């Protein structure tokens, strides 16, 4: 589940990984999706996690942002 945050308005999610090699593959998929959809979230990562923040263009999440976040969730579940 993506968490909604205010100031600034955004949705966030943290993805946990057991192996660092999975993070690299996951990040590669996100990179490709960002270029295709022209959405560029803030990304931070460490040895066993990736955190994303998607800043919302409007006062609520758009269909474009919902689809983008669903696709990222699918990437995480694929591996």
**Spatial distance between the Cα atoms of 21 and 67, rounded to a whole number of angstroms:** 26
**Spatial distance between the Cα atoms of 46 and 6, rounded to a whole number of angstroms:** 24
Threshold 0.85, pTM exceeds? yes
3-78 placed in CATH 3.30.1360.20: yes
57: pLDDT confidence band, cut at 50, 70 and 90? confident
What ranges in 1-79 are assigned the alpha helix state H?
Answer: 20-37, 63-78
- Read off φ and ψ for residue 60, nearest 5 degrees: -145, 165
- Contact indicator for 56, 65 with CB cutoff of 8 Å: yes
Where exactly are the structural domains of the chain?
Answer: 3-78
59: pLDDT confidence band, cut at 50, 70 and 90? confident
């Amino acid at each position: 589940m993506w968490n909604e945050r205010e100031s600034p308005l955004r949705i966030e999610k943290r993805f946990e990984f057991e192996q660092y090699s999975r993070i690299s593959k996951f990040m590669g998929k996100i990179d490709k999706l960002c270029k295709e959809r022209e959405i560029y979230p803030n990304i931070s990562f460490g040895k066993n996690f990736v955190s994303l923040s998607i800043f919302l263009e409007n006062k609520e999440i758009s269909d474009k942002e919902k689809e983008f976040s669903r696709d990222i969730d699918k990437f995480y579940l694929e591996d």
